[in-house]
């Protein structure tokens, strides 16, 4: 968590309004208006997955009967409700849960990032804070998203609460991204330091979150279903805010209430792949060998209800609704946008060219080769849920402005020592690519933002660009290619047009990866 935390100003703003276009002067003004629409659309996207709305959608309590409904299941509350939580968004989730559950909640423990309460207080975000006499105990830790002693203390308090429960009790578990680092309880003799070193090495060598969390689960008392096991025989309901592409419950925060399906062999393959097997500490070898001969097998989780209550898909569905209300033909392209940021930027730029040709009167247009190139690029990105063909068909006869939405988490291979984040870098690359071709009579805007409000180690959530970016930057003496070569997108956007293209929301209190918004509007 960055030292300088900012908080999203109240999301309630003037309602989104359609744009009315006219001649050249109106067009000039509409460039800014389009950016304002994109900003507001981004805020609506985030608004759909804020803790309050999410918890209210997931839970309902009948005050008279004390029946708690979660999806289609009912639980009888009678001074038997406990709560634990861990993750970057869990403070706000816990505040919303306590507000909803009131006196029914007996006790709770949560593990949240260092500095988060002070930041929320500073920004006056009361809805993200627990009330003064809350029954929930808060631990702050995991500075820089790394497991530390404070997070270990929190994990032990959470385990203690879970282990004390009986068959009459119900444990509500709040889970969000960052939960792995906030719930470290290594299986002895593995130490916290050894686990920290191993996860850092794996991450530095390029292990993805699935691989990283498979190892974390094998070495942890609480991950991979361990927390559910500790709470048995109590019933367990987990409410999960997903920060992983495809919403795999066993991966998010390393699945503390989901039985692990991974074997020791899976772990050894991963450790081999990243050249770490030979150098493993003796303690890690001991724990893996023990797991291999464990007669009980994986933790059983029959007493658990796991529910995804917030995700990128949910947030983008809201953005789609809002964009349609503004008169756009809106489509969600993918909620699994991943891969190298350079390829993702090329994909968006080519997409603009192909879709633009469908929207504007016959002119320069695109060639069949460009259509094919777009499909090839899409195939290279391997996006499991990509709706490209559908989107192209939908816009073919749209006769209206188009809004294409996507979400996910592209990756940046850091080469320079500049300041940036993957959203600002993606936007800058898209802007640079778009400037390379004439686009015809069409306004185009691309925005990329991290839904947590913090893009990399910067105070911005992301940035927006238009095809004019590179030429406008040149007039200010800024060379886009030089900034890109140093991964210095934040410095670029801070200087370009006085920072007007930066997306500043402050910390939002939620996190469902990134959102990409693409507007194409014929004149």
Ligand X SMILES: Nc1ncnc2c1ncn2[C@@H]1O[C@H](COP(=O)(O)OP(=O)(O)OP(=O)(O)O)[C@@H](O)[C@H]1O
Q: Note the residues at the interface with ligand X (CB under 6 A).
A: 88, 177, 243, 412, 414, 418-422, 425, 450, 452, 454-457, 487, 489, 511
Indicate whether 318 belongs to the interface with ligand DGY (CB under 6 A).
no
Site for ligand DGY in 445-484 (CB under 6 A): none
In the bound complex, which residue of the shown chain has the CB atom lying closest to ligand DGY?
180
| CB-nearer residue toward ligand X: 203 or 264 | 203
Nearest approach in angstroms of CB 450 to ligand X is 5
What is the distance between the alpha carbons of residues 376 and 367, in angstroms, rounded to a whole number? 14
User: Which residue from 451, 504, 494, 240 is spatially nearest to 335, judged by alpha carbons?
Assistant: 451
Count of chain residues binding ligand DGY (CB under 6 A):
11
Neighbours of 294 (CB within 10 A): 9
Choosing among ligand X, ligand DGY, none, which partner's interface includes residue 425 (Cβ < 5 to 8 Å by kind)?
ligand X
| CB-nearer residue toward ligand DGY: 179 or 449 | 179
Nearest approach in angstroms of CB 420 to ligand X is 3
What is the distance between the alpha carbons of residues 519 and 326, in angstroms, rounded to a whole number? 12
Please spell the DSSP secondary structure of 274-288, one letter per residue.
TT-STT--HHHHHHH
Indicate whether 322 belongs to the interface with ligand DGY (CB under 6 A).
no
| CB-nearer residue toward ligand X: 165 or 513 | 513
Q: Coil, strand, or helix at residue 168?
A: coil
Among the listed residues 252, 336, 507, 517, the single contact to ligand DGY using CB under 6 A: 252
Measured at the CA of 199, the angle between CA 193 and CA 203, to 5 degrees, comes to 145
Given a contact cutoff of 8 angstroms between Cβ atoms, the answer to whether 83 and 485 are in contact is no
Choosing among ligand X, ligand DGY, none, which partner's interface includes residue 450 (Cβ < 5 to 8 Å by kind)?
ligand X
Choosing among ligand DGY, ligand X, none, which partner's interface includes residue 456 (Cβ < 5 to 8 Å by kind)?
ligand X
Neighbours of 296 (CB within 10 A): 7
Nearest approach in angstroms of CB 50 to ligand DGY is 18
What is the distance between the alpha carbons of residues 108 and 485, in angstroms, rounded to a whole number? 48
What is the distance between the alpha carbons of residues 86 and 71, in angstroms, rounded to a whole number? 22
Choosing among ligand X, ligand DGY, none, which partner's interface includes residue 180 (Cβ < 5 to 8 Å by kind)?
ligand DGY
Indicate whether 142 belongs to the interface with ligand DGY (CB under 6 A).
no
What is the distance between the alpha carbons of residues 336 and 319, in angstroms, rounded to a whole number? 16
What is the distance between the alpha carbons of residues 184 and 366, in angstroms, rounded to a whole number? 53
Q: What tokens were used for 12?
A: 């309630």
- For the window 70-109, what string marks contact with ligand DGY as x by the rule CB under 6 A? ----------------------------------------
Among the listed residues 55, 89, 231, 253, the single contact to ligand DGY using CB under 6 A: 253
Choosing among ligand X, ligand DGY, none, which partner's interface includes residue 401 (Cβ < 5 to 8 Å by kind)?
none
Q: Coil, strand, or helix at residue 351?
A: helix
Q: What tokens were used for 239?
A: 């409410």
- For the window 197-216, what string marks contact with ligand DGY as x by the rule CB under 6 A? ------------x---x---
Given a contact cutoff of 8 angstroms between Cβ atoms, the answer to whether 347 and 428 are in contact is no
Indicate whether 338 belongs to the interface with ligand DGY (CB under 6 A).
no
- Distance, first Cα to last Cα, the chain: 43
Residues that bind ligand DGY (CB under 6 A): 177-180, 209, 213, 243-244, 252-254
């Amino acid at each position: 968590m960055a030292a300088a935390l900012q908080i999203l100003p109240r999301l309630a703003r003037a309602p989104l309004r359609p744009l009315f276009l006219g001649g050249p002067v109106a067009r000039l003004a509409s460039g800014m208006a389009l950016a304002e629409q994109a900003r507001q659309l981004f805020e609506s996207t985030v608004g759909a997955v804020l803790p309050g709305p999410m918890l209210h959608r997931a839970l309902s309590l009948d005050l008279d009967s004390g029946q708690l409904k979660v999806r289609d299941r009912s639980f009888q509350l009678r001074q038997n409700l406990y709560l634990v939580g861990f993750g970057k968004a869990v403070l706000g989730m816990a505040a919303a849960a306590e507000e909803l559950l009131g006196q029914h909640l007996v006790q709770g423990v949560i593990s949240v990032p260092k500095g988060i309460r002070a930041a929320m207080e500073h920004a006056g975000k009361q809805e993200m804070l627990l009330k003064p006499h809350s029954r929930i105990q808060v631990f702050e830790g995991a500075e820089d998203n790394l497991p530390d002693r404070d997070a270990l203390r929190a994990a032990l308090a959470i385990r203690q609460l879970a282990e004390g429960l009986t068959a009459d009790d119900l444990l509500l578990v709040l889970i969000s991204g960052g939960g792995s680092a906030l719930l470290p309880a290594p299986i002895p003799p593995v130490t916290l330091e050894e686990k920290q070193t191993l996860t850092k090495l794996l991450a530095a060598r390029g292990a993805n979150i699935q691989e990283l969390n498979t190892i974390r689960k094998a070495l942890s008392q609480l991950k991979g279903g361990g927390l559910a096991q500790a709470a048995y025989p109590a019933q367990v309901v987990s409410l999960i805010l997903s920060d992983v592409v495809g919403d795999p419950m066993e991966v998010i925060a390393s699945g503390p209430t989901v039985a692990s399906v991974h074997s020791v062999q899976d772990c050894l393959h991963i450790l081999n792949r990243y050249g770490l097997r030979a150098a493993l500490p003796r303690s890690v070898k001991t724990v893996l060998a023990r797991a291999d001969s464990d007669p009980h097998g994986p933790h059983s989780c029959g007493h658990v209800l796991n529910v995804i209550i917030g995700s990128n898909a949910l947030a983008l569905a809201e953005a789609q609704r809002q964009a349609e209300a503004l008169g756009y033909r809106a489509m969600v392209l993918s909620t699994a946008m991943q891969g190298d940021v350079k390829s993702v930027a090329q994909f968006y730029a080519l997409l603009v060219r192909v879709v633009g040709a469908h929207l504007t009167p016959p002119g320069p247009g695109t060639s069949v080769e460009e259509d094919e190139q777009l499909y090839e690029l899409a195939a290279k990105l391997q996006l499991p849920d990509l709706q490209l063909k559908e989107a192209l068909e939908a816009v073919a006869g749209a006769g209206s402005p188009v809004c294409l939405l996507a979400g996910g988490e592209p990756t940046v291979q850091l080469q320079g020592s500049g300041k940036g984040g993957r959203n600002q870098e993606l936007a800058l690359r898209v802007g640079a690519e778009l400037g390379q071709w004439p686009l015809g009579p069409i306004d185009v805007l691309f925005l990329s933002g991290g839904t947590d409000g913090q893009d990399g180690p910067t105070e911005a959530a992301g940035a927006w660009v238009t095809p004019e970016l590179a030429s406008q930057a040149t007039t200010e003496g800024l060379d886009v290619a030089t900034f890109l070569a140093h991964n210095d997108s934040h410095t670029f956007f801070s200087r370009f047009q006085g920072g007007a293209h930066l997306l500043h929301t402050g910390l939002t209190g939620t996190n469902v990866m990134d959102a990409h918004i693409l507007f194409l509007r014929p004149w």
